[in-house]
Amino acid sequence: MQSPALPVPEAPSLVPPALRGILPLLIAIPTLALFHWSLTGSDFATYLLSVVGVNIILAVSLNIVNGMTGQFSIGHAGFMAVGAYIAGYTSLQLKEVALSFLPVSASDQVLFMLALLVGGVAAALCGFLVGLPSLRLRGDYLAIVTLGFGEIIRVFVQNTDAFGRALGLSGIPQYSSPGMVYFWVFLVVLAARRLAGSSHGRSLWAIREDEVAAEAMGVDTTGYKVRAFVFSSFFAGIAGGLFAHFVPIINPGSFTFVRSMEIVVMVVLGGLGSTTGAVVAAIFLTLLPEGMRSLFGALGTEGSLAQRVDQIRMPIYGLLLVVLMLSRPQGLFGTKELWDVLPRWLPRKRRGLA
Amino acid sequence: MAQLLQHLINGLAAGTIYALVALGYTMVYGVLKLINFAHGDVMMVGVYMGYATAFAIGREARGSFLGIAAVFAVAMLGCALFGFLIERFAYRPLREKPRLTALITAIGISFALSYGFQLDIGFLPGASPRAFPEIIEPTEWLIIGDRDVVVWNWQVISFLIAVGLMVGLQYLVFGTRFGRAMRAVSWDHRVAALMGIPTDRVIALTFMLSSGLAAGAGLLYAIKDTSVSPLMGLYVGLKAFVAAVIGGIGHVPGAVVGALVLGLVEEFVVGYAASTWRDAVAFGFLILVLLVKPGGLFGRVAAEKV
């Protein structure tokens, strides 16, 4: 695998140094607010936007482990489930509570944030518990152990009354909104990009390229791997919490191995190690089935094919992984980011003139 | 006491089947250092081949000894061929690539097979489980006391077949030229190639062997469960993998011991705790073993050298 492009020294920036750290926030928060208030689309559009956002969070967070660190987790849905159930349960318990010094909607959002964080921390804790034994060993073990962890979570939920067993949890207050989802999308992308360029991130890249060499250079490989894993599980938990607050019901069927595989396919397709690649692939793969469904629907192939999209999608994902590995193992972007790739598609005229 | 004995028998019967699948993981890991994630699904394909054969030869023939032999032969040979094709076209081109590439490919194949077989297009069987024909009519082989302990004939037969296959494998690995070549490749495939061992052929044969064994194991499992389904490979395969890791992956007798231990643990959990927890047990046990003895019961954690 090629090593990531080292950051090129940047041209002197127009932004004063004092603002540079919080610049992304200064741009993102008004944009998100505008986005939130201008969104008056149908319920389905809102729902689809939220699903896309949740998938982006999942893909970007998984990319930290699978892409940057070169480990291979295939149980991301398990952490999502932990976040969804814990956050959903917290919200259900706090349903009657309201913070008296705030208006109702604001109080709801504060409690929602609290529930999300509780879910995220619970998922991170699970990530720590699972990661510690398996990350001490060779990377392949992690794949199986994370898969097993997902199964354990599913069985645990199915046997616990508080989580509604196989029926799932319903009646979770619908606090979530695309604005909130994309706030977290923004946070995870920012965190992942910052991580990739930091010295901590450099250690992760080193582990990915050659674990033995990284260790010889004094990188505490287990420590870094476990931290990356915990970080990634935290965001998976957040994604689960968000998900739990805009779907009518969560049940063990929403967090199966299939879900984990979807996220893996997103990360591999986008390019292991590319944050924007994960974002693009997540958007593409989430909208593709919807597009196919409406296409088949419009073509008038009476229901059958349109309904089958979900069924056919699974084996195609599997084949896609095989074909990608054989023909383009680095995925769409490799370890590059969107902005490294884009100019190549544009006409090269300007360079010729100069 | 009688109950304990019954659980012991059931656990051992399940364990021998896991052992055959676990051996496939361990052998492939031995020669390629690859966790063949698709192993369980290759097994599932083999079981469907046996299923088709059992129907093709008809109701009368499948009860006879020759009929059973035919079902096993078709499934095992067909599956060996299938394993060969996967190795040739999916894993061999990636052999010199980073290990993660092969692992992702294996996961992709596993996914494509287990979900591809759930479609009902063309010859594909569809998602719902199907009843596996009773090629071995279940009868009680041994009854102790007032039905305190019951040993079924299929338990005895599958135990014998499994032990027979394992003994054959042991001879093959430690008593033949091919086995010696296999062990040499497992030790260091570059040096083995320099010594004139056709490594490509050895690896291909190892794949065929492990796939064939898996098909045999899968048939035994289908007889025990009296059903086949596209997802059986995923579950049996995962448990067998857990067994291989518990025994120390790459270690042949370790895989057998690991599988027997896992079969017993599962059976006792179902018998004395709750059957709904069964699927979680294997993985909980795996995490426990990795925590306490990371290399498995028999394996060593070898230091990776550059």
Task: Give the Å distances, CA to CA, from B155 to A22, B17, B139, B142, B221.
Answer: 68, 10, 10, 11, 10
For A331, counting Cβ atoms within 10 Å of its Cβ (0-12 exposed, 13-18 middle, 19+ buried), the class is buried
Q: Which of B62, B107, B191, B221 is nearest to A260 (CA)?
A: B107
Q: Is residue B87 part of a domain?
A: yes
**A145/B290 Cβ within 8 A:** yes
Q: Is residue B148 part of a domain?
A: yes
Residue B98: closest C-alpha in chain A: A1
Question: Considering only CB atoms, which chain B residues are within 8 Å of A158?
Answer: 276
pLDDT of residue B294: 75
Asked whether B215 and B79 are in contact (CB, 8 A), the reply is yes
- CA of B100 vs chain A CAs: smallest distance (Å): 8
Question: Considering only CB atoms, which chain A residues are within 8 Å of B97?
Answer: 329
In this prediction the ipTM stands at 0.84
Count the residues in chain B: 306
pLDDT of residue A305: 63
Q: How far apart are CA A212 and CA A229, in angstroms?
A: 19
Which string of b and e fits A290-311 if b means at least 16 CB within 10 Å? eebbeebeeeeeeeeebebbee
User: What's the number of domains chain A is made of?
Assistant: 1
**A155/B276 Cβ within 8 A:** yes
**B104/A318 Cβ within 8 A:** no
Domain that holds residue B126: 2-292
Q: Is residue B137 part of a domain?
A: yes
Q: Which of residues 101-120 of B touch A (CB under 8 A)?
A: 101-105, 107-113, 115-116, 118-119
Q: Is residue B306 part of a domain?
A: no
Q: Is residue A12 part of a domain?
A: no
Residue tagged 């021998």 (tokens): B16
| Of the partner residues B93, B111, B280, the one whose CB lies closest to the CB of residue A314 | B111
Q: How far apart are CA A67 and CA B213, in angstroms?
A: 35
Q: Please check whether residue B294 touches A, CB under 8 A.
A: yes
CATH code for position B137: 1.10.3470
User: What's the number of domains chain B is made of?
Assistant: 1
Which string of b and e fits A137-158 if b means at least 16 CB within 10 Å? bbbbbbbbbbbbbbbbbbbbbb
**A151/B283 Cβ within 8 A:** yes
Q: Is residue A281 part of a domain?
A: no
- What does pLDDT average to in each consecutive run of 10 residues of chain B (306 residues)? 83 88 88 87 93 83 80 93 93 85 90 87 76 76 76 83 83 89 88 91 92 91 86 87 85 86 88 76 81 76 52
- What does pLDDT average to in each consecutive run of 10 residues of chain A (354 residues)? 52 62 70 68 79 94 92 90 93 81 81 93 93 78 83 85 81 83 90 90 90 88 92 95 90 86 91 90 89 75 64 86 88 79 57 38
- CA of A89 vs chain B CAs: smallest distance (Å): 22
Question: Considering only CB atoms, which chain A residues are within 8 Å of B294?
Answer: 133, 136-137
Domain that holds residue A207: 43-252
Residue tagged 């320099």 (tokens): B194
pLDDT of residue B288: 82
Q: Is residue B300 part of a domain?
A: no
Question: Considering only CB atoms, which chain B residues are within 8 Å of A143?
Answer: 35, 37, 103, 107
Q: Is residue B104 part of a domain?
A: yes
Question: Considering only CB atoms, which chain B residues are within 8 Å of A155?
Answer: 276-277, 279-280
At position A79, the amino acid (one-letter code) is F
Q: How many CB atoms lie within 10 A of CB B104?
A: 26
Q: Please check whether residue A249 touches B, CB under 8 A.
A: no
